[in-house]
Amino acid sequence: TSPSAPADLLVAEDGASVSGTAEAGSTVTISDAAGNVLGNATAGGDGSFTVALLPALTNGEMVTAIVSDAVGNISEPATATAPDTTSPSAPADLLVVEDGTSVSGTAEAGSTVTISDAAGNVLGSVTAGGDGSFTVPLSPALTNGETVTAVARDAAGNISEPATITAPDTTAPDVPQAYISDDGSSVNGTAEAGSTVTITLPDTSTVGTT
């Protein structure tokens, strides 16, 4: 007669062990989702067992436990899920499209990707697909060289490190405010910070750049 399946399965919070109960004296074997054996232990006289896991499972992995008795009868499997305390990787392959209307990239499949501006204001969010790809629409479009930040959040609430990307700059600067000095020797004024100002005469010849 096959023993009963293991019961009361629990993966420790730190992912370093699986415990539960099984037929006293039976051997409990723990395997991962691919069938690789992670460890085994003999259930004590009270049926309790603990199987150490190395490395620890901390990313929501599913494990399977089976029991084999002294004559080789094997139980039905039982499963448990490890805690997920592992942050997803930062979003990658970020791209702001040329017209500034969306940000695309890749992230952990099923994670929520949030795009924020430099001030921390959320511009949009979306769930990464099964292949990890995502596209977040932006409205209004970003067309002035703005920096945006992307983070991924998994189902357990773990948050990735941020990744950044700069939007294209297709917005012309405002018209400079210019004033010729009284003696005509210089032109002063204001323009977009960091921009290059070029002074030309009516005949289109250039007389100065700053």
Q: Which of 38, 41, 37, 18 is nearest to 28 (CA)?
A: 41
H/E segment holding residue 125: strand 122-127
Give DSSP secondary structure letters for 20-87: EE-STT-EEEEEETT--EEEEEE--TTSEEEEE-SS---B--EEEEEEE-TT--BPPPEEEE--B-PP
Percent of the chain with pLDDT strictly greater than 90: 80
Residue 187 clears pLDDT 90, i.e. is over it: no
How far is Cα 42 from Cα 49, in angstroms, rounded to an integer?
7
Residue 208 clears pLDDT 80, i.e. is over it: no
Residue 45's pLDDT is 97
- Residues 129-150 have pLDDT tens digits of 999 999 999 999 999 999 999 9
Structural domains of the chain sorted by starting position, each given as residue range(s) with its CATH number in brackets: 7-81 (2.60.40.10), 92-166 (2.60.40.10), 177-209 (no CATH)
Residue 36's pLDDT is 96
Residue 156 clears pLDDT 80, i.e. is over it: yes
Average pLDDT, the chain: 94
Residue 206's pLDDT is 83
Greater model confidence, 210 or 42: 42
Percent of the chain with pLDDT strictly greater than 70: 100
- pTM comes to 0.71
In this structure, what token pair is assigned to residue 155?
Answer: 């189902």
Asked if residues 39 and 30 have their Cβ atoms less than 8 Å apart, the reply is: yes
- Residues 82-141 have pLDDT tens digits of 999 999 999 999 999 999 999 999 999 999 999 999 999 999 999 999 999 999 999 999
| Region of residue 16 (left: phi > 0; alpha: psi -120 to 50; beta: else) | alpha
Residue 81 clears pLDDT 80, i.e. is over it: yes
